Amino acid sequence: MASDRIMLTTHPFDDDKLREECGVFGVSGADTASAMVALGLHALQHRGQEAAGITSWDGHDFHTMRAMGHVAGNFDNDEAIRALPGSVACGHVRYSTTGETSLRNVQPLYAELSSGGFAVAHNGNISNAMKLRRELVRRGSIFQSTSDTEVIIHLVATSNYRTLLDRFIDALKQIEGAYSLICLTPEGMIACRDPLGIRPLVMGRLGEAVIFASETVAFDVVGADYVRQVEPGELVVVPHGATADQIRSHRPFGEQSPRPCIFEHVYFSRPDSIVDGSSVYSVRKAIGAQLAIENPVEVDYVIPVPDSGVPAAIGYAQQSGIPFELGIIRSHYIGRTFIQPGDKVRHLGVKLKHNANRALIDGKRIVLIDDSIVRGTTSLKIVQMMREAGAKEVHMRIASPPTRHSCFYGVDTPERTKLLAHKLDVGGMREFIHADSLAFLSIDGLYKALGEARRADIRPQYCDACFTGDYPTSLTDQDEAEVKDQLELLSERVV
Ligand code: SF4
């Protein structure tokens, strides 16, 4: 680092996770639409903490405000909400994989088309964005950002179809990968999900207002009712000022078996959300119970790795009859980062946010429950922390199968070669994290916890590619490196 000040992460347990890339939220037909979007985005902040943006439509003009950082601090004041007038608005929170970190990549992206303004908020990743972009640039398109999402705007702009809806559908038929989109046009709001439904998108109501969001937890925050999920391959069109019977559903794609992301149930979604019709909290408890059936161990306590390991640990404890205890205590009084003047205190970063409950653990045999292992660096630190606190035996159980493959559908994954499970077998991983034993949930066990008999290998019910390498789109193993290279090139490109 250039200066002698170092940035200590105070979320050391969260920093070795796969990270969901984005959250989207849209409201049509509410007086305070942008204020509602700000609240909804706040509830979705766990899906993207790097930047946020809101676009509103006041019946004549579009208004957009985009900012780096959290929703709170940027959109929680009167001035911001007054600058975003109108009864229709959509918003976005993001991390980035495709497109470098800068304001021009913060969504919603907006452009003036021949049909009028067009704003788009996207959760997912367009896997053929680079190829499409090259072709569009060759035909004269001038890109304003390095985001894969901008490809959609240019495809709509250059489509030969007449109506905006047909142009939009024409664009969607050319893109591959994962997309849950909320678009704002002078005619209305469009919400849609890719044909496989890889990323989530749900629909709710608050009085006359129609609301779309990545997760149902955002409905709870604004007091809206969950209606249903937007189905894979479905486009829902809400004309401005529409009554309930004027909302239209379109199915422009051929019938395909859905493959929603199974990791939403394991880690990404908040436990108080409903995903694919199931309570995330209940599924995580069922996962923990299944883990206890498959991988029992004789210990004194079941200890969750906070916070994401908690529901699975409750399930494990209930199934095994071993007491659930809080062996790692989290401080709620510290922000995401903490600046310290020097390297010597770097190792203390772990303890700023989480500390071992020594009085409980000393002399005891424990099993730690975590949702996943990515690089393994966090697991190593936690096991070490438990041993330093006097634990006699430290076992680890993981509430998902080993994460061996990268994700190309809008989730921030390290290179495959950096994934611990890609480099080592379970025995090697156990040695790496210095645990007395280590075991993972089986892939069929994960499906069982989701209410399936087992994984249907010919036509799997979910995308589980980060565990199995079985990608739901035509991405072959050979293509992976190429797509990754393309995405990296795209992010480095200066337009
Ligand atoms: Fe989800 Fe993994 Fe599929 Fe990515 S590869 S969409 S994280 S299940």
Q: What is the pLDDT of residues 143-167, one digit of tens each?
A: 988 889 999 999 999 999 999 999 9
Region 345-360: mean pLDDT is 72
Q: Residue 86 pLDDT > 50, yes or no?
A: yes
Atom of ligand 1 nearest to the CA of 261: 1
Of 22, 261, 407, 466, catalytic: 22
The C-alpha atoms of residue 327 and residue 57 are separated, in whole angstroms, by: 50
What does the pLDDT read at residue 491? 41
Burial class (CB in 10 A: 0-12, 13-18, 19+), 431: exposed
What does the pLDDT read at residue 228? 96
Output the residue whose Cα is nearest ligand 1's atom 6: 261
Region 75-87: mean pLDDT is 94
Q: What is the pLDDT of residues 407-430, one digit of tens each?
A: 989 887 788 888 999 999 999 999
Ligand 1 pocket check for 262: Cβ under 6 Å: yes
Q: Which of 400, 63, 463 is nearest to 232 (CA)?
A: 463
Region 92-111: mean pLDDT is 79
Burial class (CB in 10 A: 0-12, 13-18, 19+), 417: exposed
Query: In which band, very low, low, confident or very high, does the pLDDT at 339 lie, cut at 50, 70 and 90?
Result: very low
Q: Residue 350 pLDDT > 70, yes or no?
A: no
What does the pLDDT read at residue 158? 95
The C-alpha atoms of residue 56 and residue 33 are separated, in whole angstroms, by: 8
Q: Are 232 and 197 in contact (CB under 8 A)?
A: yes
- How far is ligand 1, taken at its centre, from the CA of residue 56, in Å? 31
The C-alpha atoms of residue 457 and residue 454 are separated, in whole angstroms, by: 9
Q: What is the pLDDT of residues 297-335, one digit of tens each?
A: 999 999 999 988 999 999 999 999 999 999 999 877 655
| Cα angle: 397, vertex 401, 407; to 5 degrees | 130
Known catalytic membership, residue 90:
no
Atom of ligand 1 nearest to the CA of 472: 3
What does the pLDDT read at residue 356? 94
Query: In which band, very low, low, confident or very high, does the pLDDT at 345 lie, cut at 50, 70 and 90?
Result: low
- How far is ligand 1, taken at its centre, from the CA of residue 190, in Å? 25
- How far is ligand 1, taken at its centre, from the CA of residue 44, in Å? 19
Q: Residue 87 pLDDT > 90, yes or no?
A: yes
Q: Residue 96 pLDDT > 90, yes or no?
A: no
Tell me the range of 138-152, 172-186, 243-257 where mean pLDDT is highest: 172-186
Ligand 1 pocket check for 409: Cβ under 6 Å: yes
For tokens 């020594």, name the residue. Answer: 358
* pLDDT, greater one: 456 or 115: 456
What does the pLDDT read at residue 334? 55
* Residue among 371, 406, 411 whose CB has most ligand 1 atoms within 8 A, to mutate: 411
Q: What is the DSSP letter of 495?
A: -
Ligand 1 pocket check for 411: Cβ under 6 Å: yes
Burial class (CB in 10 A: 0-12, 13-18, 19+), 206: middle
Taking the alpha carbons at both ends of the chain, their separation in whole angstroms is: 28
**Residues paired with 8 in a beta bridge:** 338
- How far is ligand 1, taken at its centre, from the CA of residue 261, in Å? 5
For tokens 């697991």, name the residue. Answer: 379
Query: In which band, very low, low, confident or very high, does the pLDDT at 34 lie, cut at 50, 70 and 90?
Result: very high
Distances (CA, A) of 384 to 212, 388, 390: 43, 6, 10
Angle between helix axes 164-174 and 150-158 (nearest 10 degrees) is 130
What does the pLDDT read at residue 480? 57
Ligand 1 pocket check for 198: Cβ under 6 Å: yes
Q: The pTM is what? A: 0.90
What does the pLDDT read at residue 95? 77
Ligand 1 pocket check for 21: Cβ under 6 Å: no
Q: What is the pLDDT of residues 442-460, one digit of tens each?
A: 999 999 999 999 999 999 9
Region 201-223: mean pLDDT is 96
- How far is ligand 1, taken at its centre, from the CA of residue 195, in Å? 15
Q: For the ranges 36-50, 359-373, 473-487, which has the lowest average pLDDT? A: 473-487
The DSSP line for 434-480 is T-SEEEE--HHHHHHHTT-SS--SSS-SSB-HHHH---SSS--HHHH
